[in-house]
Chains A and B, each alone.
Chain A
Amino acid sequence: MIHQSAAQMADALAKGETTSVELTQAHLDRIAAVDGQVKAFLHVDTEGALAQAKDVDARRKSGEKLSPIAGVPLALKDVLAQKGVPTTAGSKILQGWRPPYDSTVVSKLKSAGVVIMGKTNMDEFAMGSSTENSGYGPTFNPWDLTRTPGGSSGGSAAAVSSFEAPLAIGSDTGGSIRQPAALTGIVGVRPTYGAVSRYGLIAYSSSLDQAGPFGRTVLDTALLHEVMAGHDVRDATSINAPVPAVVNAAKSGDVKGMKIGVIKQLQGEGYQKGVQTRFDDSLHVLASLGAEIVEVDCPSFEYALAAYYLIAPSECSSNLARFDAMRYGLRTGDVDGASAEAVMSSTRDAGFGREVKRRIILGTYALSSGYYDAYYGSAQKIRTLIIQDYAKAFTKADVLVSPTAPTTAYKIGEKVDDPMAMYLGDVATIPVNLAGICGMSLPAGLADEDNLPVGFQIMAPAMQDQRLYQAGAALEAALLSKWGAPILSKAPELKGAK
């Protein structure tokens, strides 16, 4: 049952062939059996999940009209507030915090009857690309437990790829949904900035953050996308427009006559051979389906990584000022006579990990007087050029494509002491965030040299998210018929699995 797609599970629920309680219990059993090795979850809400499942079964029985994925269980990245359930953003500074409110994404999941099984591991405050920066230890890639699942939404990606959950939610500030999707052989989408409410999403870099769906198929991801997106008065940057018809697009999956632009700057040198080969193979498949492949030039993308690692740390140094040990979270050093400032400094030292401190200090530097124009100011101008490059490219192509990440999953510990090497993993995903547009990663096969998953990235203009699903579904179907079985069937069985 757990190996089905979310769409198949939803179908079985609608037909009365199974119940949400049964389905949720099967996934909780899977978590109990394998999560000791994968460590995708920080908190499993067994009781809460079964209560939600029971409730949705009762609603179905009473004849209530339910959402298409009602009763299907899901794993939630620990960056989203869920009332009464521990929410840490992977940080020790929030250990034990139980939010007194639901994020809008959680409210939408609850009203859609989606069962939230627990909170998944992540790089602390979503700062990282490997989940190794979690304050609670790393998550392990189900394809090879000595490797990282990517990050920062590594827990959510590992949960879906290890069949602990059919669906999951992540957040993507510089690639944190697409890159772990690529490294674990699943589908992940970063919707257009403003398409999904950020109310209750613990902020890292507010002009870049966006929550989005993970699934094992393009259609599953679309079903979740449609449930979580939509305008919200509680988020001033939320777009007041209808959600693009992503489910219909995922069902039609057609690229005949579609113009697909290959970004010159996001391939070749610096990309692992097997990654480039699978990417090129996918392009041939798309061409054989009737797509027109063109090359596009985005010269300013060469500076996107540098701009990102100024803009995101600058915004984070401001956003994380809220962790001041006064209203919630950790407080240390509160001894008689200690000043508020001393308590704040002691708490932030004890509660924040290495990478978070590094980025706060970098952001503080980039925003300080005398350096502001040279660093943050220049980065903002590069951002303008990247937006212009995209605008020009989208006059020549309907969607743009690249490999999602330059390499396959790397070993735990391999890059942890070399921040720049780690940052390079985001080189192909970051431009989407800087421009506020949307992107998808879907499996393109396994790299020949290491038999690990490779991700194929598709990008579309703002609020044209349906194009991702239309092209993604077409490629997915063609690759599936070529391979004969879904890519996850090639992943090794996890020990303890039934």
Chain B
Amino acid sequence: MSSLSRDDVAKLAGLARIEMTEAELVELSSQFGMILDAVARVQEMDLSGVKATSHPQPLENIARPDVVLPSLSPEDALSGAPAQEESRFRVPQILGEAE
């Protein structure tokens, strides 16, 4: 039986930038054992020598001619912004005061 402790879930939530309440952490940790057991079935088959598929198509880079095409105006691009200032996205501080 797999398991993931409340602290493990808290660490993952931190990595995923989701602040979770104590109740959410406990609930997720209690559900994870069952989910991990189910998905761990992928390890039951002998997969040695099997190639991995990340995508159903053989992907290749596609380049287009380097010409200017119509794109969003600054007004349109900013239309959904939670906050804006001087035609730019206003975001919270990302560096400490001293830096």
Partners in one complex: yes
Residues in A neighbouring B89, C-beta threshold 8 A: 326-327
| Chain B residue contacts of A237, Cβ below 8 A | 55, 57, 59
| Cβ A381 vs Cβ B41 within 8 A | no
Asked if A383 and B53 make an inter-chain contact with CB atoms under 8 angstroms apart, the answer reads yes
A436 to B77, CA, bound (A): 33
CB pair A365 B57 closer than 8 Å:
no
Is A147 in the interface zone, CB < 8 Å from B? Answer: no
CB of A378 closer than 8 Å to a CB of B? yes
Give the contacting residue for A337; candidates B16, B39, B93; CB below 8 A: B93
Interface residues as binary, A428-465 with B (CB distance below 8 Å gives 1, 0 otherwise): 00000011110000000000000000000000001000
Quick one: which of B31, B42, B62 contacts A306, CB cutoff 8 A?
B42
Chain A residues near B45: list those with CB within 8 A. 300, 303, 382, 385
A420 to B39, CA, bound (A): 10
Instruction: Please encode chain B, from 42 to 62, with 1 for each CB lying within 8 Å of some chain A CB and 0 for all others.
Output: 111101001111111101011
A387 CB within 8 Å of chain B: yes
How far is B17's CA from A126's CA once the two chains are assembled, in angstroms? 21
Q: Known: A303-B41, A309-B39, A310-B42. Is A317-B16 also a contact (CB below 8 A)?
A: yes
Please give the number of chain A residues whose Cβ is less than 8 angstroms from any Cβ of chain B in the complex. 73
B1 at the interface (CB under 8 A from A): no
User: Does A193 interact with chain B (Cβ within 8 Å)?
Assistant: yes
Asked if B55 contacts A233 (CB within 8 A), the reply is no
Chain B residues numbered 55-75 whose CB sits less than 8 Å from any CB in chain A: 55-57, 59, 61-62, 64, 72
Cβ contact of B18, chosen from A239, A338, A345, A375, cutoff 8 A: A345
Interchain nearest-CB distance for A371 vs B (Å)? 10
Whether the Cβ atoms of A310 and B39 lie closer than 8 Å is yes
- The answer for the CA separation of A360 and B13 in the assembled complex, in Å, is 9
CA distance A126 to B93 in the complex (A): 33
Task: Flag if B42 contacts A420 (CB, 8 Å).
Answer: no
Is B50's CB under 8 angstroms from A348's CB?
Answer: no
How many residue pairs link A and B with beta carbons under 8 A? The number is 167
Contacts of B39 in A (CB 8 A): 306, 309-310, 362, 366, 375, 379
Q: In whole Å, how far is B25's beta carbon from the nearest beta carbon of chain A? A: 10
Interface residues on B, range: 35 or more
Is A378's CB under 8 angstroms from B93's CB?
A: no
- Is the beta-carbon distance between A419 and B35 smaller than 8 angstroms? yes
Query: Which residues of B lie under 8 Å from residue A384 when comparing CB positions?
Result: 50-53
Q: In the complex, are the beta carbons of B28 and A361 less than 8 A apart? A: yes
User: CB-CB contacts of B66-99 with A at 8 A, as 1s and 0s?
Assistant: 0000001000110111110000010111100000
A residues in contact with B35, CB < 8 Å: 309, 358, 362, 419-420
CB of A13 within 8 Å of the partner chain: no
Residues 75-103 of chain A: 1 if any B CB is under 8 Å from the residue's CB, otherwise 0? 00000000000000000000001111100
Look across to chain A and name the residue whose beta carbon is closest to the beta carbon of B54. A380
Q: Do A420 and B38 have beta carbons less than 8 Å apart? A: yes
Establish whether residues B28 and A357, one from each chain, have CB atoms under 8 Å apart when the complex forms.
Answer: yes
Contact across chains for A361 and B16 when beta carbons are under 8 A apart: yes
Q: Does B9 contact A (CB under 8 A)?
A: yes
Cα distance A462–B9 in the bound complex, in angstroms:
39
A303: B residues at CB distance < 8 A: 41-42, 44-45
CA distance A331 to B42 in the complex (A): 38
B residues in contact with A478, CB < 8 Å:
none
Q: Are A327 and B40 in contact (CB under 8 A)?
A: no
Q: Are B76 and A331 in contact (CB under 8 A)?
A: no
Contact of B20 among A305, A325, A357 (CB under 8 A): A357
Q: Which of A330, A375, A383 contacts B82 (CB 8 A)?
A: A330
Q: What residue of chain A has the Cβ atom nearest to residue B48's Cβ?
A: A381
A193 and B4 contact, CB distance less than 8 A: no
Binary B-proximity of A112-149 (CB < 8 A = 1, otherwise 0): 00000000000000000000000000000000000000
Give CA–CA (A237, B52) in the complex, Å: 19
Per-residue CB contact flags for chain A residues 299-311 toward chain B (1 = under 8 Å, else 0) read 0100101110110
Residue in A98, A380, A437 whose Cβ sees the most chain B Cβ within 10 Å:
A380
B50:A328 contact, CB within 8 angstroms: no
Q: How far is the CB of A301 from chain B (nearest CB, A)?
A: 12
Is B7 an interface residue, CB under 8 A from the partner?
no
Residue A364 is within 8 A (CB to CB) of chain B in the complex: yes
Which chain B positions have C-beta within 8 A of A342? Answer: 19, 92
Instruction: Name B residues whose Cβ lies closer than 8 Å to a Cβ of A.
Output: 4, 9, 12-21, 24, 28, 31-32, 34-35, 38-45, 47, 50-57, 59, 61-62, 64, 72, 76-77, 79-83, 89, 91-94
Between A and B, 23 residue pairs with Cβ closer than 8 Å are A207-B55, A237-B59, A328-B81, A340-B92, A340-B93, A357-B13, A357-B28, A358-B28, A358-B31, A360-B16, A361-B28, A375-B40, A375-B42, A378-B47, A380-B53, A381-B50, A381-B53, A382-B47, A384-B50, A385-B50, A387-B56, A420-B34, A420-B38
Counting from the closest, the 9 A-B pairs by CB-CB distance are: A436-B56, A328-B80, A331-B82, A380-B52, A100-B76, A345-B19, A378-B42, A306-B41, A383-B53
Q: A334-B83, A349-B20, A383-B53 are in contact. List 16 more A-B contacts (CB 8 A).
A: A98-B79, A98-B80, A207-B55, A324-B17, A325-B82, A326-B82, A344-B17, A345-B14, A348-B17, A348-B19, A361-B13, A362-B39, A374-B40, A382-B47, A383-B52, A436-B55
